[in-house]
Structure formats: C-alpha cells, structure tokens
Amino acid sequence: MDIWRIRGGNRLNGACRVQGSKNASLPILAAAILAPKESTLTNVPRLRDIDAALRILRCLGCETDQRGNEVYINASGVTRSVIPHELMLEMRSSVIFMGALLARCGEARLSPPGGCQLGKRPIDLHLKALRRLGAEVVEQGGEIVCRAENLRGTEIVLPFPSVGATENVMLAATAAKGETVLRGAAREPEIVALQDYLNKTGCRVRGAGSGTIYIAERRSADAVRHRVIADRIVAATMACALAAAGGEIELLDVSPRHFSTVLHFLKQAGCDIMCQNRGVRLRSDGKLRAVGEIRTEPYPGFPTDAQPVLTAALLKAKGTTLVRETIFENRFRQVPELRRLGADIRLDGQRAEIRGVERLHGAVLNATDLRGGASMIVAGLSAEGETLVRDEGHIRRGYEALDQRLAELGAEIRLE
C-alpha cells in the first residue's frame, strides 16, 4: 500500500522535465516483437506498467534489459505466442500484444486485459479489424485465440477512433500481403510515435495523425534506436498542479501542441501561459475562475485522462464549471473522495457540476484509479492541512517519481 502524504499551501516554482510517455512506450514495446534486429528505446519511464510489459516480452522469449530510462530488446528468440492470464491482468494495454504476436507468429493466445476499472472497454473493434485482415478469432473459456496463416491487406473502417484498435491494426498489418488502409483511425500523438518506430524497423506506414493510415509490407532494416515522446498527460497533471497551488514553473521537453486543449482551459481559468517549441512556462496566483463547460472527446479534443486532474484544479475556482464525460462511464469515481476535502461537486450521470469553494481542508482519501489518484494529489496541494492518499499502486502505474518532481518544485509531499 502506497501512502502519499501532502501538506497543502506551498507554491510551485522551478523547471521540470516531463517524463517519457507511458501510452507511447507500451505499443512500441509490443512492436519490438516485430523488429528484425535489436531495439534500444530511450526516455522510457520506469513504471509498473512498463515492468509488466517487459515481463510479457521475456515470457514470449525476448531478451530485455532496462537501465534507467533506456530499454534494450532483442526479439530474435521469440518462441511463444501465449500470454499468461496473470500477466494480462496487470495492465489494460496488454491487449496490444495481440496484433504484434499475430504478425510475428501467426497466432496469439491471451485473456481479456486488466487495468483500471473505468467501465466497459470492449475489444470488439480490435477483433473485427483482425478478422478483416484474414485472422480467425475464437473466444472460448475466457481466452481469445487469433490465428492466421496469411494475413492480407484490406480496407478497414473503425466506427470509433479507438487507440488500441488502431495500434493493433497497425501492428498486425505489417505482416499482411498488400496494402492495408485504415479509416476512422485514432489521431493521438502516440499513434504517430508508433508509426515513427515501425518505419525505423523497416515497415512502411504513413498517415498517422490523420484519420486514415496506410500500412504496407515490411522491408529489411538494421538495429533501431528510438526516443519515446514526452507524456502529455503527465504534463497536463503538472500544469494542473501549478494552477491549483499557484507559482511559476516551466515544463521542459514536451510539445505544447500535444496537450493544447488542457492549456486552453487553464488559460481561461486565469493562468498565464507561454508556449515554446519544446516546453511551456505557466504562472498562476492560485485564484482561478470557472471555465464554463469541458467535454471529453477523442484527440484532438479534450482528453479523458486529463479530466480528473483539471477537475481537481478547478475545485476552488470562482463560479461553476460543467464537465461532460463521453469516453468512460466510471471516470468520476474520484468525486466522492474529493468531496471529503470539502469540494462541491454534483453528479448527474456522465456530467459533473463543480461549484468553486473558498477553501479545501486535508482528509484521508483512497485512490480509485490512476488518474483519479493523481487528481487527489493535485487537490491536496491546494488544501489546508495534511491530505493522505492511500493507494494500492495505481498512481505509480503512470507517474515516475511524481513525489520527487513535485517536491523539487517546492511541494511538501512524501511517498511512504
């Protein structure tokens, strides 16, 4: 059990490098199965989900080594196409290994993935897309079995821009004969990052970042060295922490464009924001104002992962903010915990009404999930007295040394 101990009231000041992206690292780790030679990945965060992905790779026969934020993978020894149930349960993104194994081995056997319980996240889109490529997919006894002697290029249309389904199609289609055209694709920066890595390994992928992606057969390639992009949700979290606590910070090595919708609302709330090519400078007096309405949407809309931390930053904002959650039905699980701090949040299905209060007071909270836990830390920074967040490990699934980074900026925070 992790205990996050936060004493609010300190302003944040200084510069902070944003860690590498978890959501970019995980599909690239799965894609390393396809690399004809060794891969060296830099700027990989040290997280529980990364550890789980490396255990899956070793289970499949890969040689892996992580030293600091650098990961080495040699997939020449892949001998298995089965991922044990206990490893699948550790993280939601484990489903991404399905497309990679199908392309490498012609078979993938795995159970439904685990991760944060944010509501129904069916993988039907993944399975239908793989069937379009020529795979036989059977669901039996709690196990999913995908087989394909020969994958064939085709046109696939996703009815919803699912990030995971887009990634699985990109991975599986690298082994298909002919070109695959994926329409309705997710447009997140992590999709572009996966394309960049795949192309270094000899694949021919183009169009990532738009709604249509083209995947052609692989060519030969040498060993790969690839740097993972910065984590836009971690950047959003640090920005929201600054907005709530007050002060002035500079976020380094991150593209403002990747979390521009979050910066847009923070500016509306009263923060001074100056964007640079690879960084953002933010200033806040901690006295925020409500921003009207926030609606979560697929990228380039406002990200659902940033909704809890922005909600936490606005708990003392003057006026009323309406938040509409359109992605996950259980994304407001942290609200009862935030109310213990004195927050005035009223829930009505998939919408939350935040009425700013003058003050928040410390309390003992229980982290509900990864981003919900982060929202409690953000709220605790602006609360009077001490806030304790009890966490079964959710927060460290997505944040590397969050306590140290905030403490270096002046926060009084300790992880026990």
Sole residue written with tokens 């060296």 = 40
Residue 116 annotated as catalytic: yes
Name the catalytic one among 116, 146, 203, 240: 116
Burial of 150: CB neighbours in 10 Å, binned 0-12, 13-18, 19+: exposed
β-strand partners of 82: 109
Residue 343 in contact with residue 387, Cβ under 8 Å? no
Q: Which residues are annotated as catalytic?
A: 116
